[in-house]
């Protein structure tokens, strides 16, 4: 059992890490934006959100995921807030939330890290499609299955590959270094 002081210290560390991941989510698109052909396809905002979920836990990953695209859209104009930023907010909230939940529940094994990542990515993309469909219905615009498949999968292949290669390596390394705050007892 942790003392009140240890719990407060853990919450402050989680808040600090989450702020760092939010800052990275705002800044990384500037770096990949310098490569117009594939910059947006690398889905740079997804990386810190997923890391936040894995390493800080589901509430922090969910919050950072929801806030990041809306804040970036409001401050920098990209992504466009409606409908893109709104749909991304729900998508990334699911990414961070599911990554945090499953990583905490499953054993700390390499296969579980990959499984967690894949489930979070699939569920996040499905939620993105559902939100885009709802927004299209509310505005009278069209959102077809072809648009869903292109936006969620085919246009995002470079980002999907990058995430599958990079995220588990970073999560495992940070966990081994003792930097994961997403523990069953904390």
Q: pLDDT digit string (tens) for 166-180?
A: 999 999 999 999 999
CA 136 to chain centre: 23
- Match domain 4-176 to its CATH number in 2.70.70.10, 2.60.120.10, 1.10.1760.20, 3.40.50.1470: 1.10.1760.20
- Confidence (pLDDT) at 36: 67
- Confidence (pLDDT) at 156: 85
Given CA atoms 43, 27, 49, 59 in this order, what sign does their dihedral have?
negative
- Confidence (pLDDT) at 35: 79
- Confidence (pLDDT) at 46: 97
Burial class (CB in 10 A: 0-12, 13-18, 19+), 140: exposed
Q: Is the pLDDT of residue 185 over 70?
A: no
Q: Which pTM does this prediction carry?
A: 0.93
Structure tokens at 163: 């995430």
Q: pLDDT digit string (tens) for 22-57?
A: 999 999 999 987 776 777 789 999 999 999 999 999
φ, ψ of residue 44 to 5 degrees: the values are: -65, -30
Cis peptide before 109 (omega within 30 of 0): no
pLDDT band at 99 (very low <50, low <70, confident <90, very high): very high
Locate the domains of the chain by residue range.
Answer: 4-176
CB within 8 A of 93, min separation 6: which ones? 62, 63, 65, 66
Are 167 and 53 within 8 A, CB to CB? no
Place of tokens 């989680």: 14
Q: pLDDT digit string (tens) for 109-128?
A: 999 999 999 999 999 999 99
């Amino acid at each position: 059992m942790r003392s009140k002081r240890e719990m407060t210290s853990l919450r402050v560390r989680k808040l600090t890490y989450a702020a760092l991941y939010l800052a990275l989510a705002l800044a990384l698109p500037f770096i990949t934006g310098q490569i117009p052909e594939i910059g947006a396809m690398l889905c740079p905002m997804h990386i810190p959100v997923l890391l936040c979920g894995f390493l800080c836990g589901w509430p922090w990953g969910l919050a950072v995921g929801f806030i990041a695209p809306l804040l970036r859209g409001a401050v920098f104009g990209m992504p466009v807030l409606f409908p893109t930023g709104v749909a991304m907010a729900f998508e990334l909230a699911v990414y961070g939330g599911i990554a945090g939940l499953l990583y905490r529940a499953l054993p700390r094994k390499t296969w579980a890290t990959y499984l967690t990542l894949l489930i979070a990515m699939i569920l996040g993309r499905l939620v993105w499609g559902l939100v885009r469909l709802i927004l299209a219905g509310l505005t009278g615009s069209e959102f077809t299955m072809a648009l869903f498949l292109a936006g969620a999968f085919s246009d995002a292949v470079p980002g999907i590959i990058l995430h599958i290669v990079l995220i588990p390596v970073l999560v495992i390394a940070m966990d081994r270094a003792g930097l994961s705050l997403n523990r069953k007892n904390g």
